[in-house]
Amino acid sequence: MLPLLFFSGCPDATGGSDDDSGSTGPSAPEGFVLISPAEAVSGQAPGCPLPGTADSWKGVFIQGRTVTLSPYCLGETEVDYELWYEVYTWAITNGYTFAHPGREGSGGTEGAAPTTAKNHPVTTISWRDSVVWCNAYTEKTRGSTEQCIYRQGDDHTVVLKDASDTAAGDVDSTFADMAKKGFRLPTEAEWEYAARYQENNDNGNAEQYGSTWLTRLNSSSGAALPLGFDGLTPPTGKDWGDLRDEASRVAWYGYWWDGDANGGYGDWTDSGSPGIAPCKGRAANALGLYDMSGNVNEWCFDWYDDIAAGTETDPKGPSEGPASGSNRVIRGGSWNDNARHCSVGRRFYGNPGRCNDDLGLRLACRPWSSHMLCEPSVSCRGGFPPCEVSGAVSLVLVV
């Protein structure tokens, strides 16, 4: 299905109402892509060799599962340290508490002011830090907590502001009010759809899920060839170096499969990557999203569990839940991983308190209404650039 193009104005800078009356169409904040899946995704069995035999290599659109997603917006890039630090320093003087202050890329000092590497992804932040930071960014941008998504599990009127609160009823039992228009983490289904969507199979590396074309499970986001791994036969006319080069076009990763057939990790060769890289350092995928594979792993909202067959709309977990668990979903692979972990079907997980130098976040939110434009005299707060006129526009993609 051909994509539709919409133009988006600056987001509501007043804290805004939820009244969408008068709207002529959805839009996205600056730096986001509007994604509007036209039809449900009908899951299917993998149609290609996978890097591993476990179900965790098969993604969320499995055979027997049908998923309908509402329109949503996803950040073009992972959250960089400059934006993280701006919101973090505001938040800690406005009632927010974090377990970790964040780090600039993999080599920065935690909590230090941004340097010339400010456009590297923020790292060493936990899932708990991420959801609290999303609330802080929402309040900073809108001027109130009204549109904050993450609420206390046993009292949905209480906005989460403390990432260090690990008592009963704490941040780990977060309730996500998805009707709100604040910033949040993507769900795993939203993340994978955005990583895999293709308009068609012109590059020969997509499979059809109902009427939707999705990148094959054994490939990086935006790649036209599979990743190299043991058990794969390279496509006709291609060798392991070709697979390495195509992966490197779209992803930052640590090691590539050289195909020497020695077995084990002896076949994984250092990619020569400098480590963590600036956001937008590789080519974008079909939706204009960068680093959906590689650079840093990304937190998703969901608790991690096995995926089950069924019909679901906007799932926030593997199968209508679970409402609790031990680990949250992580997707994407990183600069520190071998290339196979950058495959779009690979599911990871981590304790919500986990943090390290190859783990960050990407933002999601509901679409904005097209009438929510900044008044000419008002500058958009937070990470948004000022509006010179209320008609300022940017191009967003609807699929």
On whether both 355 and 373 belong to a single domain, the answer is: no
On whether both 242 and 324 belong to a single domain, the answer is: yes
- Across 84-96, average pLDDT: 98
Give the containing element (helix H, strand E) for 82: helix 81-91
Contacts of 305 (CB under 8 A, 6+ apart): 317, 318, 319, 322, 325
Higher pLDDT, 181 or 390: 181
* Overall pTM surpassing 0.75 (yes/no): yes
On whether both 206 and 340 belong to a single domain, the answer is: yes
Residue 192 pLDDT grade (very low, low, confident, very high; cuts 50, 70, 90): very high
Q: What is the pLDDT of residue 6?
A: 37
How many domains does the chain fold into? 2
On whether both 260 and 394 belong to a single domain, the answer is: no
Residue range of the domain that includes 237:
47-74+197-360
- Distance between the two ends of the chain, CA-based, in angstroms? 7
Contact 176, 316 (CB under 8 A): yes
Residue 389 pLDDT grade (very low, low, confident, very high; cuts 50, 70, 90): very low
Could you give the CA distance from residue 349 to residue 300 in angstroms, rounded to a whole number?
9
On whether both 209 and 287 belong to a single domain, the answer is: yes
The pLDDT tens digits of the residues spanning 285-296 come to 999 999 999 999
> What is the rounded average pLDDT for all residues in the chain?
85
Single-letter amino acid, residue 100: H
Say yes or no to pLDDT of 305 above 80: yes
Q: Is the peptide bond before 322 cis (omega within 30 degrees of 0)?
A: yes
State percent of the chain over pLDDT 90: 72
Q: Is 89 inside any structural domain?
A: no
Q: Is 302 inside any structural domain?
A: yes
On whether both 230 and 339 belong to a single domain, the answer is: yes
On whether both 233 and 277 belong to a single domain, the answer is: yes
The residue behind tokens 């035999």 is: 53
Could you give the CA distance from residue 42 to residue 328 in angstroms, rounded to a whole number?
24
The pLDDT tens digits of the residues spanning 211-245 come to 999 999 999 999 999 999 988 999 999 999 999 99
Q: What is the pLDDT of residue 387?
A: 30
CB atoms within 10 A of CB 288: 13
CB atoms within 10 A of CB 204: 9
Residue 267 pLDDT grade (very low, low, confident, very high; cuts 50, 70, 90): low
On whether both 201 and 63 belong to a single domain, the answer is: yes
- Across 98-120, average pLDDT: 96
Q: Is 249 inside any structural domain?
A: yes
Contacts of 281 (CB under 8 A, 6+ apart): 252, 290, 291, 295
Q: Hey, which residues does 310 pair with through a beta bridge?
A: 65
On whether both 282 and 351 belong to a single domain, the answer is: yes
On whether both 292 and 399 belong to a single domain, the answer is: no
Nearest to 75 by CA among 222, 279, 372: 279
Q: Is 182 inside any structural domain?
A: no
Q: What is the pLDDT of residue 323?
A: 61
On whether both 8 and 51 belong to a single domain, the answer is: no
Write out the DSSP string of 315-379. -SSSSS--S--S-EEEES--TTSBGGGGSTT-EEEE-TT---TTEE---EEPPEETT----TT--
On whether both 209 and 300 belong to a single domain, the answer is: yes
Q: What is the pLDDT of residue 190?
A: 98
Q: Is 292 inside any structural domain?
A: yes
Q: Is 162 inside any structural domain?
A: no
